[in-house]
Structure 1
Amino acid sequence: MAQPNRPLRVLIASDTYPPDVNGAGYFTHRLAEGLAARGHRVHVVCPSERGEPRVTVNGSVTEHRLRSAPIPFQPSMRAAVPLGMGGHIARVLWRLDPDVVHVQSHFTLSRSTLRRARAAAVPVVLTNHFMPDNLYAHARVPRSMQRAAGSLAWRDMVRVAAEADHVTTPTPRAAELLRDRGFARDIEAISCGIDLDRFQPRAGDRAGARARFGLPDRETVVFVGRLDEEKRIDDTIRALALTVPERDAQLVLAGTGQRETELRALAAALGVADRVYFLGFVPDEELPLVYAAADVFAIASVAELQSIATLEAMSTGLPVVAADAMALPHLVEEGRNGFLFPPGDHLLLADRLLTVLGSERRREELGRASREIAREHDHHRSLERFEAVYTRLQGEGSGRLEAERAMVA
């Protein structure tokens, strides 16, 4: 594997970045922090969480926050304002003179950075975290228009990705999806990665972790993520209601989202309001304790290109019960570290939860296998692979420039 001869200058562009709460934003933050920790000079260009533009040094990462405005229907998130964006990005490129640019989407800020970088002869890596399903609820797209809107969105994504020098996705399933949508070039699957040291088994701390969040000390099913439509959390609440007659179980939901009010109402209607706990936003430093409080992780989502939360749960040593949809089957080996169920089938989800909760010995076996599988997604491996990609592209770029200069001479 190629290793950089000197620290690289890397500019990462993302249309979402903490404090935004989503998988793409978290991945981008961990990528930036991880590269900086390995000695590289890392700058991030992203929307300002305050509105006004500013530059701040956050640890070893320099953040260039561009002027932003609230996203309609999403008061907790902001988007970079197009007016003046191109010039701002061009100035950042000129000052940093990066070896490589890594964009995280095909949306406005990332797209502008990609094109400015190409115009400056800087190689570009694009990682796709996009699925139309994740946008329908946010943009309030009517169900009757979702198929057409999704087709247009994919076409736009494929067109922008074709301008990058190297395209990656978090999983082979995500790469396959992109190919199915018409992307004809090579796509490399590089896991988002997981910090195995931060998320590790701590079964002995379970009662203490529950007490930290004010939870009763009983069997606990956990989900971490946005409480939005595509996550299908209503299926998990319905499943919990079916497990309660047999098990003294509860469901813990860590995250915020558009459907919280509906989900609370559903829990009340099913008679399990006292067994469904909404923790709201959990600070990143406390997130490992959420998994430590659980006996099993359940995810009914149908729109996961990898699912960082599932990886975190697996790294913590939790069995996983997941919908057999998108990339989740790549993480769950049936009967080894958990079980799959057909999307929307809350009856089978309940049955799978009862299977896991019914035997402590079985639960421990499944959890050990989860941790074993999670090791394959060690974030150090992902960082090394991105380093190798950057170094190769940097070398190819230098070679092209030398050849062009020779031709001019």
Structure 2
Amino acid sequence: MKVLLYFEGQSVIGKSGIGRALAHQKRALSSIGIQYTLDPSSTDYDILHVNTYGPKSAKLVAKAKRLGKKVIYHAHSTEEDFRNSFIGSNKLAPFVKKWLVHLYSQADFLITPTPYSRELLRSYGLTQPIAAISNGIDLQRYYPSKEKETAFRSYFSLSEEQKVIISVGLFFERKGLIDFVEIAKKMPDYTFIWFGDVPMYSIPHNIRRIVKVDHPKNVLFPGYIKGEVIEGAYSAADLFFFPSYEETEGIVVLEALASRQKVLLRNIPVYHGWMENGVNCYMGTSRQEFITLIEQITSLQLSNITEAGFKTAQSKSITEIGRELQIVYQAVLDESYNQSMYQQIVE
């Protein structure tokens, strides 16, 4: 068995969760001994596993179909999570949905990160088998490390006493960026750091202005940072606060859980079934509720539930994702496969 993994638009969305999903797929397949190629000109593969929905992706799918290859579409994207992102995204969203349905309908099999996103795809009228498989997490990379935590504190010149709230994501309204900044205005004794980046020309003026100038001094936008600084931030911060309004999963949530960090989320449907308020995270719905929860969590008034969060991350390790992908690949190729596991990940 050999798989062609394809990802279009690396320069635009390679720093997003989808970009990290591709890296996780490569690791996952290597962990279980499945051969893969990243070369779209290749023809010696059995399955095309495509992650993106641009014109090059569509062309490659058509080519694979002509060659008689099996096609798996990894449905990271939906109309819902396209809204409130790039300039004009809300006007384009209905057309994006039609395009997604056109592309996804050509696949032999669909993979999407959560049962929630699977339900969305079903509501689009798609009828293929759909597996809900997490994008996964590289656990060891995010284990707490004193060396990494020191690198993070040093990078931002933070004192040991300074309370720090972090978030990670593209500069999208959908991600809750406006709420993040407005809450920070009400909490001047805390430092709020938003890690992430996106080409500034691609986002609406109001979001661009917030990131560039219209935010209080206790909010930092350091851009896209990788390595020990961001990895140290996950465990050294006092809280990971992710007020996103719409996700298909949220890889950054898994990264925070793997770091044994306290996690505060907006209570939205994507988390139903795997994240539970007061069990492995805390959840809120309004700015005032978030402020209250931030104060309670960072002052240790609420129970420390980070170990339960870590166990959630463990259940979505790259090795486990590799096993689930293998089951889907085998089913698509009509080979013998683990029927009980298959039923767990497919409707």
User: Please, what TM-score do these two structures have when normalized by structure 2?
Assistant: 0.85
- Does residue 241 of the first structure (1) align with residue 185 of the second (2)? yes
Deviation by residue 1:140-185 (Cα, 9 ceiling, x = unmatched):
2175xx3xx3233223212321221111100000101111122233
- SS for the counterpart of 2:315 is helix
Distance in 2 of aligned mates of 1:240 and 1:205: 25
Q: Where does 1:176-191 land on structure 2 (aligned, <5 Å)?
A: 176-191=119-134
- Does residue 32 of the first structure (1) align with residue 6 of the second (2)? no
2:36 alignment partner AA: V
In the other structure, the counterpart of 2:204 is none
Would the alpha carbon gap of residues 263 and 250 (structure 1) be closer, same or farther in structure 2, given more than 3 Å must change? Answer: same
**Cα distance, 1:333 vs. partner?**
1.2
Q: How many residues align?
A: 327
Distance in 1 of aligned mates of 2:194 and 2:159: 14
Would the alpha carbon gap of residues 372 and 291 (structure 1) be closer, same or farther in structure 2, given more than 3 Å must change? Answer: same
Aligned match for 1:226, one of 159, 170, 174? 170
In the other structure, the counterpart of 2:215 is 267
Larger radius of gyration: 1
Contact 1:256 1:281 in 2 (8 A): yes
Distance in 1 of aligned mates of 2:136 and 2:102: 27
Distance in 2 of aligned mates of 1:227 and 1:293: 23
Deviation by residue 1:44-100 (Cα, 9 ceiling, x = unmatched):
2xxxxxxxxxxxxxxxxxxx4xxxxxxxxxxxxxxxxxxxxxxxx5xx243xx1021
1:278 alignment partner AA: F
Distance in 2 of aligned mates of 1:317 and 1:266: 32
- SS for the counterpart of 1:12 is strand
**Cα distance, 1:266 vs. partner?**
3.6
Would the alpha carbon gap of residues 322 and 279 (structure 1) be closer, same or farther in structure 2, given more than 3 Å must change? Answer: same
- SS for the counterpart of 1:377 is coil
1:332 alignment partner AA: M
- Does residue 355 of the first structure (1) align with residue 302 of the second (2)? no
- SS for the counterpart of 2:213 is helix
- SS for the counterpart of 1:215 is coil
In the other structure, the counterpart of 1:210 is 153
- SS for the counterpart of 2:73 is strand
Distance in 2 of aligned mates of 1:140 and 1:234: 16
Identity across the alignment (%): 21
Aligned match for 2:7, one of 11, 14, 31? 14
Stretch moving more, 227-236 or 170-179:
227-236
Contact 1:322 1:332 in 2 (8 A): no
Deviation by residue 1:174-207 (Cα, 9 ceiling, x = unmatched):
1011111222333110000111111123479645
Contact 2:2 2:34 in 1 (8 A): yes
User: Please, what TM-score do these two structures have when normalized by structure 1?
Assistant: 0.73
In the other structure, the counterpart of 1:332 is 275
Contact 2:264 2:282 in 1 (8 A): yes
Gaps of 5+ in 1: 1-7, 45-63, 65-88, 398-409
Contact 1:16 1:24 in 2 (8 A): no
- Does residue 252 of the first structure (1) align with residue 199 of the second (2)? no
Query: Which is bigger in relative contact order (C-alpha 8 A, separation at least 6)?
Result: 2
Stretch moving more, 200-209 or 275-284:
200-209
- SS for the counterpart of 2:141 is coil
Distance in 2 of aligned mates of 1:172 and 1:142: 25
Contact 2:31 2:322 in 1 (8 A): no
Contact 2:175 2:243 in 1 (8 A): yes
Contact 2:148 2:228 in 1 (8 A): no
- Does residue 108 of the first structure (1) align with residue 55 of the second (2)? yes
**Cα distance, 1:230 vs. partner?**
1.6
Would the alpha carbon gap of residues 112 and 286 (structure 1) be closer, same or farther in structure 2, given more than 3 Å must change? Answer: farther
- Does residue 192 of the first structure (1) align with residue 192 of the second (2)? no
In the other structure, the counterpart of 1:74 is none
Deviation by residue 1:274-324 (Cα, 9 ceiling, x = unmatched):
x21222110245431121221111111112100001110011011211112
- SS for the counterpart of 2:193 is strand
- Does residue 163 of the first structure (1) align with residue 106 of the second (2)? yes
Deviation by residue 1:99-124 (Cα, 9 ceiling, x = unmatched):
21101133322222222111111111
Q: CA RMSD in A?
A: 2.6
Would the alpha carbon gap of residues 293 and 261 (structure 1) be closer, same or farther in structure 2, given more than 3 Å must change? Answer: farther
1:233 alignment partner AA: L
Distance in 2 of aligned mates of 1:193 and 1:280: 24
